């Protein structure tokens, strides 16, 4: 009897082990320590009172994952660890690593219950209900750290998203729920005639102003405080929503899309940055994984271009186009006739 290749099952059996190997090293400060100079397992263990043999196993495993380089008995960060896991890097993803370890990993342990009941697992896992920023990120520093991590993630994708369509004919962009402003910053840096506003809640705007001030396009960028569900929207001929719509169910999305549509002038547009599922709902794998993540964390989900098109057309938009970028985030644009 010829059995099928067991590799997919075997790989998935141990997939979480790879994540936790990186998470543990990050949480223990290994990538911070090994940025400045190499060190041996014994040196690291002695400095912190840890078990040298166990530390060596962790270091070896991270070297096997390509995050550390081992020479003799010494270890040092690889370029990828220095770029994304060392806190001094402008592209640091460490806050999202910590969030994945401390929040998502425990909640994913309750995935089966999320599927059975159709709802997020904040209460079951941590004893409180969402939403995210009022619960898990209950301090300004926790929020700031998370936003910094998401900024690094955003800057890997936003420059491609804003070039997915020709935006040179627009004059004023407002990025709704713009967080650190990475999409607005990328847009202004790509289109010299464009001006942009980052629109978010007051506590987020404090952080956004710092990132905007560091942009080469800062003279054409500003930050405005507000709630895109509850208040008026600043005037614009193009709005953007970056990883916003996947947080919500269809009813709430339709309210927001209608509000944006009514505020836009004729010829205006809405740029959307989201992961796009294939039309049959199967693949790409990273989008299916994020769709389950939204089930565990929010009331939302990932969608296909067809599903987004239906929502946008119900709100009045026409000429809905989508672009698969090949990165973690795809792009859509919807126009108002």
pTM of the model: 0.93
Give the pLDDT confidence of 95-121 residue by residue, as tens digits.
889 989 998 999 999 999 999 999 999
> What's the CA gap between 42 and 45, in Å, rounded?
5
Q: What share of the chain is helix, strand, coil (3-state, %, to 5)?
A: 50, 15, 35
* DSSP structural state of residue 259: H
Segment 37-50 shows an average pLDDT of 96
Higher-scoring residue by pLDDT: 184, 140: 184
292 Cβ contact partners less than 8 Å away, ≥ 6 residues apart: 111, 114
Name which of 8-22, 115-129, 286-300 the model is least confident about. Answer: 115-129
Task: With a cut of 60, say whether residue 322 has pLDDT above it.
Answer: yes
pLDDT tens, position by position, 218-247: 999 999 999 999 989 999 999 999 999 999
The residue among 127 and 304 whose pLDDT is bigger is 304
pLDDT at 14: 96
As a CATH number, domain 7-84 is 1.10.10.10
Q: Per-residue pLDDT averaged across 20-40, rounded? A: 97
Segment 289-313 mean pLDDT: 97
133: confidence class by pLDDT, cuts 50, 70, 90: low
Q: Which residues are catalytic?
A: 246
Helices (H) and strands (E) in the chain, counts: 16, 12
Could you give the CA distance from residue 42 to residue 53 in angstroms, rounded to a whole number?
8
Q: Where are the domains of the chain?
A: 7-84, 134-335
pLDDT at 131 over 80: no
Q: Report percent pLDDT > 90 for the chain.
A: 86
Mean pLDDT of 77-94: 95
Write down the pLDDT at residue 256: 97
**What does the pLDDT read at residue 132?**
54
Q: What is the pLDDT at residue 163? A: 98
Encode pLDDT of 185-207 as tens digits.
999 999 999 999 999 999 999 99
Q: What is the pLDDT of residues 136-181, one digit of tens each?
A: 566 777 788 788 888 888 889 999 999 999 999 999 999 999 999 9
Query: Mean pLDDT across the chain, nearest whole number?
Result: 94
| Alpha-carbon gap, residue 220 to 239, rounded angstroms | 16
Beta strand 318-323 with 330-335: parallel, antiparallel or unpaired? antiparallel
Q: Residue 150: what pLDDT?
A: 83
Identify the pLDDT of residue 245.
97
Q: Is the pLDDT of residue 294 over 90?
A: yes
Separation between Cα atoms, residue 84 and residue 235, nearest integer Å: 36
Position 135 confidence tier, pLDDT thresholds 50, 70, 90? low
User: Regarding beta strands 221-225 and 39-40, do their DSSP bridges make them parallel or antiparallel, or are they unpaired?
Assistant: unpaired
pLDDT one-digit tens code per residue, 251-261 = 999 999 999 99
For 134-335, CATH number out of 3.40.50.150, 3.90.76.10, 3.40.50.1100, 3.40.50.2300 equals: 3.40.50.150
Residue 36 has pLDDT above 90, yes or no: no
């Amino acid at each position: 009897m010829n059995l099928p290749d067991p590799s997919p099952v075997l790989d998935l059996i141990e997939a979480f082990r790879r994540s936790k190997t990186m998470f543990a090293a990050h949480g223990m400060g290994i990538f911070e320590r090994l940025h400045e100079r190499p060190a041996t397992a014994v040196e690291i263990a002695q400095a912190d009172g840890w078990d040298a043999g166990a530390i060596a196993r962790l270091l070896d495993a991270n070297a096997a994952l390509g995050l550390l380089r081992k020479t003799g008995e010494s270890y040092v960060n690889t370029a990828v660890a220095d770029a994304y896991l060392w806190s001094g890097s402008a592209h640091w993803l460490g806050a999202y690593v910590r969030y994945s370890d401390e929040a998502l990993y425990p909640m994913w342990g309750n995935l089966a219950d999320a599927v059975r009941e159709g709802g997020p697992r904040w209460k079951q896992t941590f004893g409180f209900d969402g939403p995210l920023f009022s619960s898990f990120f209950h301090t300004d520093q926790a929020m700031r750290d998370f936003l910094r991590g998401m900024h690094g993630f955003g800057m890997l994708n936003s420059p491609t998203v804003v070039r997915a369509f020709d935006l040179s004919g627009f004059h004023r962009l407002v990025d709704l729920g713009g967080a650190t402003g990475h999409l607005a910053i990328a847009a202004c840096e790509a289109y010299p005639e464009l001006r942009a506003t980052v629109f978010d809640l007051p506590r987020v705007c404090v952080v956004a102003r710092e990132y905007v001030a560091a942009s080469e396009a800062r003279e054409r960028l500003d930050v405005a405080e507000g709630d895109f569900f509850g208040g008026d929207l600043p005037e614009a001929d193009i709005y953007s929503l970056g990883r916003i719509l996947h947080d919500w169910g269809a009813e709430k999305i339709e309210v927001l899309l209608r509000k944006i549509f009514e505020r836009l002038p004729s010829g205006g547009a809405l740029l959307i940055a989201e992961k796009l599922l294939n039309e049959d709902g199967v693949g790409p794998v990273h989008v299916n994984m994020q769709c389950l993540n939204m089930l565990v964390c929010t009331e939302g989900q990932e969608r296909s271009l067809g599903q987004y098109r239906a929502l946008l057309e119900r709100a009045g938009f026409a000429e809905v186009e989508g672009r698969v970028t090949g990165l973690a985030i795809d792009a859509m644009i919807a126009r108002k006739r």
